[in-house]
Chain A
Amino acid sequence: EDQVTQSPEALRLQEGESSSLNCSYTVSGLRGLFWYRQDPGKGPEFLFTLYSAGEEKEKERLKATLTKKESFLHITAPKPEDSATYLCAVQAPFRDNYGQNFVFGPGTRLSVLP
């Protein structure tokens, strides 16, 4: 069964204090790994897609990396506006050329204090 776990469950950082969030996954044939940001009471907002081990993507203070078993979201010099829940999801392989399934992790709640 496809599974995604994220750690830590919650993280509190001081402004400017860099850190990393972890996403570990078990899936038979990864088709894609996705990172989303979710603010309270809102839908998730797409950040990155990673497709193969060794791939890296960057956006402002965020950098996502991927290995065969896990992904990291590195946050460099965070600001209070980076406070949110960060969700990781994996996409299962196509079945019968049409099937799709996205499995989300529980998220990491990030708080950045000024």
Chain B
Amino acid sequence: DTGVSQDPRHKITKRGQNVTFRCDPISEHNRLYWYRQTLGQGPEFLTYFQNEAQLEKSRLLSDRFSAERPKGSFSTLEIQRTEQGDSAMYLCASSPNRGRNDEQFFGPGTRLTVL
């Protein structure tokens, strides 16, 4: 399978705990995005990498959230001191850098439940 993969698919944690999610993009894609999606809403942009550089970070993103993409390959999203409001689907997407061809390919998501 050459699509975007995410791990884990589901995560249940207690409030105050730290969690980390992993995303493996399509291998030749150098752009990687993280989104958060709650029920009945569209994905909300969190952050964007071009290769290993984090170029954009949503102003709405709490400082409890951090993302990395070492060596421009896989990426991790960490949430520290989780809160119940962090419960959501966390989506990763990647896209090639082919000029105007900016369509994103999404992974299956990681569903986070904070108790």
User: Residues of A at under 8 Å CB distance from B?
Assistant: 4, 31-32, 34, 36, 41-46, 49, 51, 87, 89, 91, 98-107
Contacts and interface: CB of A to CB of B under 8 A. Distances in A.
A21 to B, nearest CB: 13
Interface of B: 4, 31, 33, 35, 40-45, 48, 50, 53, 55-56, 91, 93, 100-109, 111
Contacts of B102: 31-32, 34, 49, 91, 100
Main secondary structure of the interface of B (DSSP, over half): strand
A104 B42 contact: yes
B109 to A, nearest CB: 5
Given A45-B106, A49-B103, A106 B42 contact: yes
B103 A46 contact: yes
B103 A34 contact: yes
A4 B105 CA distance: 20
B25 to A, nearest CB: 12
Given A98-B50, A99-B55, A100-B48, A46 B105 contact: yes
A98 B91 contact: no
Contacts of B106: 36, 43-46
Nearest to B55: A98
Nearest to A42: B108
A103 B45 contact: yes
A101 B45 contact: yes
B109 A42 contact: yes
Given A43-B91, A99-B56, A104 B104 contact: no
B42 A51 contact: no
Nearest to B42: A104
Contacts of A103: 45
Nearest to A47: B103
Nearest to B91: A43
A29 to B, nearest CB: 14
29 contacts: A4-B42, A31-B102, A32-B102, A34-B102, A34-B104, A36-B106, A41-B108, A41-B109, A42-B108, A43-B4, A43-B93, A43-B106, A43-B108, A44-B106, A45-B106, A46-B104, A49-B103, A87-B42, A89-B42, A91-B102, A100-B48, A102-B43, A102-B104, A103-B45, A104-B42, A104-B43, A104-B45, A105-B42, A106-B41
